[in-house]
Amino acid sequence: MKGYGQHYRSAWLLVILLILGGIVGGLIGHALSSVQHLAFLNQGPGIGLPVTTLNLDFLTLTFGFTFKVNPVSILGFIAAFIIYLRL
């Protein structure tokens, strides 16, 4: 039983909030990049694995992901973490 003032925080909730924060931050950065002086907000390094296909005749598997970080998505991660701490 939880006492007064204690909160249960799930690690899955943190992961979901961070993903949502990154998506929202990335969308805002992409929208602001159309303004000439704010174009740098959509630039950032890309980290990931290239698309690789494994063909086993009866099964074909495709792996790959790309994680692109820009300044606004980092702000989205920070905002999501602050929201998580306040829950």
**How is the chain split into domains, by residue range?**
13-44+64-86
User: Considering the entire predicted model, what is its pTM?
Assistant: 0.72
Strand, coil or helix: 59: coil
Mean pLDDT by 10 residues, the chain (87 residues): 63 92 90 85 85 91 88 92 90
At 10 the pLDDT is 86
Residues sharing a CB contact under 8 Å with residue 79, sequence separation 6 or more, in sequence order: 21, 25
Position of tokens 């980290």?
47
Distance CA 20, CA 18 (A): 5
